[in-house]
Structure 1
């Protein structure tokens, strides 16, 4: 027994000495702290070991309703051990403690982006970028420039185009066939629910006039019945299945590239829905989990925290992993749940509505997954405790999912399950009440309204667009949990811009808000990107607010007073800290 006491005391002394060392190399310090993240926060406060970092003399917005503002906080082993006024926090200062004087700057919790396709975004950063192109000639010019130095036969990949920016005309293979005769091309639309293939890519995939539309998808055709090159929703898999696999090394580089970009924008945690779009191979998410995320975690290369969602058809595989490892693999990787699709997107005229599109009176959109399959998979996933998130954009799709969720609860019984609807862009009059009554999480992306404002009026009419689109404040007022995200790379990953959008709701070229009654307050929008986002993925015990026991993830803003932040409705990121360590710049 005495030997055990001696060993325990020696271990505590050894840890005390090691943890007080100043390791000059940032990367080595980062990796060392990663190995010690498991030390409980109570170890610091009860053992007398000094804090690693004091953050002082700032305006700290905590997102914690029990203490909304503080001027100082102390961090030890990556977690917050004290927060409040300087004299209280300074008590845990000691040998080896660093102090960061904010000089009045505003600090907020590390942002959580509730909906990202992280590796896909990282890959897109190294491909042909046609985002923001606003003329047909510029679109063609981008493609022409990209193929100039490419090896013959190699695929030209990229995306981000938005036909609404050049008047609405959809691109076709004929636009680019002459300049890509020796290169198969696939360029996805910004929303990921439609893509353009050139004629060579169509031939490789065997797409011709006699090919039938797949279930949940459409092959666009001209008046003669010939494919135009546009593939919508599930039809995209015909092309995607022919594109060479991305190498492991490329995907690992994409993770690093995307993580650094997220940190630059103040994002310390993302909810990753993988390279999973309608028609995408289900295996991609699992390959990325094994080859990229687990590899990065084990080798000390993770820079941001990720909560991973997997394709719902693979729910049993996820269940096996969760039962073996639990939901928390490390301080960096959490297993979230499963995702499915109910419909397509507004921009591709494939979002599912009760009434037809104004510009296509014969079309009400697409139901991407049939009701029976969607319901059965949801029942099984939920039965075994997996969180479920379903993509729904059109009002009929949202009603379909809301009604299905209610049925699943009656089948499996009540519990804390936190069902999510991803996007929830267009709702009927009674849908908001359904969200509230059932406690369904609305995982929404404010910056999408900037892209949709003009096209929504054309596609569904002014009255429907005004009454039922992007009802953030109505959802919040009904006590619906609202979590903000970007859907990057569909929209940019930029929480501060997203917050400004939710507050102002002024699309490009407009001089007033789109439905001003739906404008949110700054603190509500901040919470939607922090504590509410954490609750939406069962991570509110670890992140989401600057509270004792939680991770020391925080963002220093350029705003020097809270009043400036409120008045301007925006700011920019000066620095990002993860676990008390500076990660950006």
Structure 2
């Protein structure tokens, strides 16, 4: 009897289940797939096999297989250790020996500005006046009268050193204002139309902290240097919200093409620029992208130091991240200018300008007071410093932070750390200061540094990557993409520093009203790694200071796990370790030896959170 009751009960359950499954209007709380998914939850969604995986994890540097479930890594190791995670729904990807790396982390970019300039022509690499004029002529064709022709990237050193003048381009741009910034962004050329629009004449006084270059008769030649650019840049139209959103998406896709899965975006912020620009982009672009599912890469944002109270309040309200896509990194400011414009702050004068020691861009006491307050509340600080004296000042500032606010894991960052007295490398290590550096810049700077600093000084002080590592400092690689930009500011020198002297031009623009030309310091981590390993400028046959060359492993770590550490994300990304987000790239090579020696591979595919987001086989994936 009990057996009969049990049989009837089982039959009733079966009938009820069939009814549920066949009743179309009933919303089922479960399905057959969901029922079976419990059994599959122990298995991976994706397994890589027959791969040469560099993990950036010192506990397991290399592996041949990796298992991923959802957006995170389950296991990394040999195939036998992964095999048990392969279920009937697992996608198994045999990579036939190809090299796999953690997704690259770009430690210093201006993402939206990079996206804006991608749709415009460039003046980089121009080697003579004729080519310069031809580029501008091409940009001027077909545009409406009165529309701006903006651009940059020119480097007069490439054609012997003579500076361009307005008369080069006046005849081909009689009805349009032109502004073309130099590669370092610290000077620009205006045509006569633009000079008239800005009201710059023979009688215009020299601005504090800048120069209007003049002919022997006192007439402006068209060149405006440093703060003199403030006379021109406010005239340039501003980019719309729609254009900035498109620029962010465009730049993100370009990053994926290069294997970059995370960037540290230091924003549209330069000395003299209002801090609101970065906050406008956070509100109008990043929050929009997060809420609408338009984030393609992970972004760590740095905000202007003068807005530190605003960032602290935001962190109180939303925490330090929006999901796994947008991270609120910290604050940034500027200590000096650049070597190319002879405004990097140095102990000794420039060789070609014996009375020039460079420039303290932002008042040091102002930096100190504001960093102490922000640091007290646990916010990370990053400071732009290029010259040897500027770097030492920032190392001393970090010591003051420690003595004032106590010892903690603050990961103070110095952006660029380009020229250092040898003793400074030891201080970086002793103080656990991050050196956020741009290896590709050394390829362009080698000749200029020797010209401006002298051979011995340039050799001993420039791009000391190996010395920094030997001193136990952390390196984080970036590109500063893009280098040369122009910006529409309502330029008011910040009240906190009435002696602000340097302005980095940066373009915000209305694409319907003008054309721009730019130099691109390419977002290219494989290029940065190769530059750090070889240190060989394009026109050289040997390395520039070979004792500072890095090994391939050290260079890879600077683009992955150390870069993640530099922005407090090493618990989430930076290495292919169990539990971390599954961001990785597949390269074209299947030879580690060849890759280590030549760094000549290309990116075949990029994955973010275990999902394929770029493949070289996808026609039309990226289009400017």
User: One fold, TM greater than 0.5?
Assistant: yes
Seen in structure 2, the aligned counterparts of structure 1 residues 14 and 343 have a Cα distance that, compared at 3 Å, is farther
More deviation, 492-501/234-243: 234-243
CA distances 1:81-118 after superposition (whole Å, capped 9, x unpaired)? 11111122222222321111111111010000101111
Seen in structure 2, the aligned counterparts of structure 1 residues 92 and 175 have a Cα distance that, compared at 3 Å, is same
Structure 1 residue 60, shift from structure 2 partner: 0.4
Within-5 A mapping of 1:95-494: 95-208=88-201, 209-214=203-208, 217-222=210-215, 226-490=219-483, 491-494=521-524
Distance (Å, rounded) in 1 between the aligned partners of 2:399 and 2:78: 46
More deviation, 153-162/299-308: 153-162
Q: Would you say how many aligned residue pairs link Structure 1 and Structure 2? A: 551
Seen in structure 2, the aligned counterparts of structure 1 residues 446 and 305 have a Cα distance that, compared at 3 Å, is same
Whether contact under 8 Å (1:192, 1:277) holds in the other structure is no
Structure 1 residue 260, shift from structure 2 partner: 1.3
Which secondary structure state, in structure 2, belongs to the residue aligned with residue 571 of structure 1?
coil
Distance (Å, rounded) in 2 between the aligned partners of 1:367 and 1:423: 15
Seen in structure 2, the aligned counterparts of structure 1 residues 556 and 242 have a Cα distance that, compared at 3 Å, is same
Distance (Å, rounded) in 2 between the aligned partners of 1:90 and 1:101: 13
CA distances 1:372-421 after superposition (whole Å, capped 9, x unpaired)? 11212222221221111111111111112111221122122111111111
Whether contact under 8 Å (2:40, 2:87) holds in the other structure is no
Seen in structure 2, the aligned counterparts of structure 1 residues 181 and 516 have a Cα distance that, compared at 3 Å, is same
In the alignment, what sits opposite 2:593?
A: 563
Distance (Å, rounded) in 2 between the aligned partners of 1:238 and 1:379: 34
More deviation, 144-153/540-549: 144-153
Which secondary structure state, in structure 2, belongs to the residue aligned with residue 454 of structure 1?
helix
Residue 71, structure 1, aligned to residue 64, structure 2: yes
Seen in structure 2, the aligned counterparts of structure 1 residues 14 and 94 have a Cα distance that, compared at 3 Å, is farther
Structure 1: tracts of 5 or more residues without a match: 1-10, 22-43
In the alignment, what sits opposite 2:622?
A: none
Distance (Å, rounded) in 2 between the aligned partners of 1:211 and 1:19: 79
Whether contact under 8 Å (2:206, 2:228) holds in the other structure is no
In the alignment, what sits opposite 1:513?
A: 543
Whether contact under 8 Å (1:446, 1:502) holds in the other structure is yes
In the alignment, what sits opposite 1:574?
A: 604
Which secondary structure state, in structure 1, belongs to the residue aligned with residue 422 of structure 2?
coil
Whether contact under 8 Å (2:336, 2:387) holds in the other structure is yes
Q: Which TM-score applies when normalising by structure 2?
A: 0.84
In the alignment, what sits opposite 1:6?
A: none
Which secondary structure state, in structure 1, belongs to the residue aligned with residue 299 of structure 2?
strand
* Bigger Cα Rg: 2
Structure 1 residue 71, shift from structure 2 partner: 0.7
Which secondary structure state, in structure 1, belongs to the residue aligned with residue 143 of structure 2?
coil
CA distances 1:466-488 after superposition (whole Å, capped 9, x unpaired)? 11001000001100111111111
Seen in structure 2, the aligned counterparts of structure 1 residues 49 and 236 have a Cα distance that, compared at 3 Å, is farther
Distance (Å, rounded) in 2 between the aligned partners of 1:113 and 1:255: 15
Structure 2: tracts of 5 or more residues without a match: 1-26, 484-520, 616-624
In the alignment, what sits opposite 1:540?
A: 570
Within-5 A mapping of 1:512-531: 512-531=542-561
Structure 1 residue 218, shift from structure 2 partner: 4.7
Distance (Å, rounded) in 1 between the aligned partners of 2:450 and 2:29: 68
Higher relative contact order (CA 8 A, sep 6+): 2
Structure 1 residue 235, shift from structure 2 partner: 4.2
Whether contact under 8 Å (1:575, 1:582) holds in the other structure is yes
Whether contact under 8 Å (1:16, 1:49) holds in the other structure is no
Distance (Å, rounded) in 2 between the aligned partners of 1:562 and 1:467: 32
More deviation, 512-521/195-204: 195-204
Distance (Å, rounded) in 2 between the aligned partners of 1:363 and 1:281: 28
Structure 1 residue 350, shift from structure 2 partner: 1.4
Q: Which TM-score applies when normalising by structure 1?
A: 0.90
Seen in structure 2, the aligned counterparts of structure 1 residues 547 and 431 have a Cα distance that, compared at 3 Å, is same
In the alignment, what sits opposite 2:21?
A: none
More deviation, 387-396/529-538: 387-396
Query: What RMSD over aligned residues (CA atoms) do the two structures have, in Å?
Result: 2.3
Structure 1 residue 233, shift from structure 2 partner: 4.1
Whether contact under 8 Å (1:236, 1:278) holds in the other structure is no
CA distances 1:482-532 after superposition (whole Å, capped 9, x unpaired)? 111111112211111111111111101111110011011000000000000
Residue 498, structure 1, aligned to residue 528, structure 2: yes
Distance (Å, rounded) in 2 between the aligned partners of 1:220 and 1:414: 49
Distance (Å, rounded) in 2 between the aligned partners of 1:573 and 1:214: 48
